[in-house]
């Protein structure tokens, strides 16, 4: 239909003439309430942002003197964070004379990375940052969200 006729139809119905596909031959237009359309579009975007979960960077701190059992416990915590889809920064803090032996911190970080290699991959190799050596792990697979998880949490609460 000609542009003038389409515009007249829009005015008669108190609607707006909105060009939907300008590159089509001929260009495609729709009759709609543009204010209502924009409002609903922003409402959908807001709702999508509310439900979106970005990957967080969680941190686990250790020392070079941390015992093997405690390292295994922290490794399970790291695995849980990775399973939830978060990145994990594992930091070994050095105090006093411990700084003279950075290889001990490197051994701790290697132990953690070897323990969680099934669920996480090294994103950044261990680096010294002042008195701390850190390593960043990223999840290898998508986070496993199950429907049974909320039910088990409720069962534990009762």
Cβ-contact 62, 74 below 8 angstroms? yes
Cβ-contact 58, 86 below 8 angstroms? yes
* Structural domain 57-139, CATH architecture: 2-Layer Sandwich (3.30)
CA distance 144 to 100: 41
pTM value? 0.58
pLDDT of residue 146: 47
Q: What is the pLDDT of residues 9-48, one digit of tens each?
A: 999 999 998 888 889 888 888 898 989 989 999 999 998 8
Instruction: Write out the two tokens for 105.
Output: 């911190």
User: In the chain, where are the structural domains located?
Assistant: 3-51, 57-139
Question: 3-51, what's its fold?
Answer: Ubiquitin-like (UB roll) (3.10.20)
pLDDT band at 90; cut points 50, 70, 90 = very high
pLDDT of residue 49: 85
pLDDT of residue 143: 52
């Amino acid at each position: 239909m000609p542009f003038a006729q389409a515009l007249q139809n829009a005015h008669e119905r108190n609607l707006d003439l909105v060009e939907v596909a300008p590159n089509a031959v001929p260009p495609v237009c729709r009759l709609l309430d543009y204010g209502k359309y924009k409002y609903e579009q922003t409402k959908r975007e807001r709702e999508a942002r509310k439900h979106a979960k970005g990957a967080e960077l969680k941190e686990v701190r250790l020392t070079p003197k941390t015992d093997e059992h405690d390292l295994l416990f922290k490794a399970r915590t790291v695995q849980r964070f990775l399973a939830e889809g978060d990145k994990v920064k594992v930091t070994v803090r050095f105090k006093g004379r411990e700084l003279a032996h950075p290889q001990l911190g490197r051994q701790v970080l290697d132990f953690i990375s070897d323990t969680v290699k099934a669920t996480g991959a090294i994103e950044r190799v261990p680096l010294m940052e002042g008195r701390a050596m850190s390593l960043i792990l990223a999840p290898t697979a998508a986070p496993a969200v199950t429907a049974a998880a909320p039910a088990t949490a409720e069962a534990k609460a009762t």
